[in-house]
Amino acid sequence: MRGGFEMQPLTHHEGIVVPMDRGNIDTDALLPKQYLKSLESRGFGTFLLDDERYLDPGELDTTPASRRENPQCVLNMPVYRRASVVLARANFGCGSSREHAVWALRDFGIRVLIAPSFGDIFFTNCFNNGLLPIRLPQSVIGHFFAQCRQSHGVTASVDVARRELTLGDTHLVFDLDVGRQRNLLQGLDNIGESLALTPTIRAYETARQLSEPWVFR
């Protein structure tokens, strides 16, 4: 558990897809710099895409209810307020390495992200916080956006064990590293993965104390 956040297993997920139809959405846009002052790892969902979502500036102690929403922001459309799957263009999550951007997505309710490519550090941070980023070809992403334009509120279904994604009229198998797949299914971040090896680590330490006792004197 980090900052009050406990990883939850991700085995199967189904939710509304929110289309963010542009490339290079960086971590500064996902969560502006003024929110990085918090040492907690929760409570950032209301600040996701803050500069686009509101018509007035905000701070950590600003009450969201007191702010004016931007009706043009996709997250403020009624159908997407409960979205849990992001569909984006290339290089989503580029820019600085702030993990807070992933926390904002997670706290909003996002569990799955679909794009042609992601920022490298952002990609890793997603797995460390229980989110699944899926990389797919540009042509597939384009087809998904077309479906979202035709019908708002399209849903996606993901089976992590089978590595299967269904979105609208499309069903496919996506690539997923075996180790990262295991951690998602078991709800493990890097620390949890290490703690799961505690018996093996203790066995090694016991054996080494017997074979090299001088090290422990």
Over residues 90-135, the pLDDT tens digits come to: 999 999 988 999 999 999 999 999 999 999 999 999 999 999 999 9
Residues 6+ apart with CB under 8 A from 95: 26, 27, 28, 29, 119
| Cα separation, 120 vs 148, whole angstroms | 27
User: Which pLDDT band, with edges at 50, 70 and 90, does 27 fall under?
Assistant: very high
Share of the chain above pLDDT 90, in %: 75
* Residue 58 pLDDT greater than 90, yes or no: yes
For residue 161, name the pLDDT band (cuts at 50, 70, 90).
very high
Q: What percent of the chain has pLDDT over 70?
A: 91
Q: pLDDT value at position 94?
A: 97
Name the band, by pLDDT with cuts 50, 70 and 90, for residue 189.
low
Query: Contact, 192 vs 11, CB < 8 A?
Result: no
What CATH superfamily is the domain 12-186? Aconitase, domain 4 (3.20.19.10)
Q: Would you report the helix, strand and coil content of the chain in percent, each value rounded to 5? A: 40, 20, 40
pLDDT, mean of residues 63-85? 95
Query: What mean pLDDT comes out for the span 42-54?
Result: 95
- Identify the pLDDT of residue 39: 79
- From residue 31, how far is each of 45, 163, 172, 209 by CA, in Å? 9, 29, 31, 48
Q: Give the pLDDT score at 134.
A: 98
Read off the pLDDT of each residue in 18-40 and give the average, rounded to a whole number: 94
Mean pLDDT in the chain? 91
Q: pLDDT grade, residue 213 (50/70/90)?
A: confident
| Domain range list for the chain | 12-186, 188-217
